Amino acid sequence: MIKIDHIAVYVHDLETVKDFFIRFFSAKANTMYHNPRTGLRSYFLSFDDDSRLEIMSRPEVGRIERDVYRAGYTHLSFSVGSKEEVDRITNRLKEYGYEILSGPRFTGDGYYESAVLGPEDNIIEITE
């Protein structure tokens, strides 16, 4: 059986991004890894279904201009179990000042979802 072990994302503010996923998506973080030679710092964030997200930072990580339609990975999607939970999490994110890009709504292909601009302009999709 083949499965994705984890997805990794470079970020600038490791603690802010870690706290975002803990606060809104019930992630659990391991102890921060730090390689003093390269400056790499990282956390593995684990979710209830055993999926993992690695967030990493190092001094030379560059910045790119925000473009939601750029080529490459475009968003992370979290299935939260119900329409009500999509609404609850989306409203909570809005209360905390995060930009809601779309929804909550039913998409043309039948998903109930919202899209939120998370820390460092990463798009987070929240589905039923």
How many separate domains does the chain show? 2
54 with 5, same domain?
A: yes
- Domain ranges, residue 30: 1-59
User: How does DSSP assign 2-26, residue by residue?
Assistant: -----EEEE-S-HHHHHHHHHHHH-
CA separation for the pair 98, 56 (Å, rounded): 22
Asked if 112 contacts 128 with a C-beta cutoff of 8 angstroms, the reply is: yes
- Of 10, 28, 59, the last residue of a domain is 59
Based on the fold, state whether residues 11 and 39 are members of the same structural domain. Answer: yes
Q: Does 83 lie in the same domain as 48? A: no
Tens digit of pLDDT for each residue in 57-73? Answer: 999 887 767 666 666 67
Residue 4's pLDDT is 84
State the Cα–Cα distance between residues 25 and 40, nearest whole angstrom.
25
Judgement on whether residues 53 and 91 belong to the same structural domain of the protein = no
What 3-state DSSP class applies to 103?
strand
Mean pLDDT score of the chain, rounded to an integer?
Answer: 92
pLDDT beneath 50, residues of the chain: none
| The pLDDT of residue 2 | 83
pLDDT of residue 63: 74
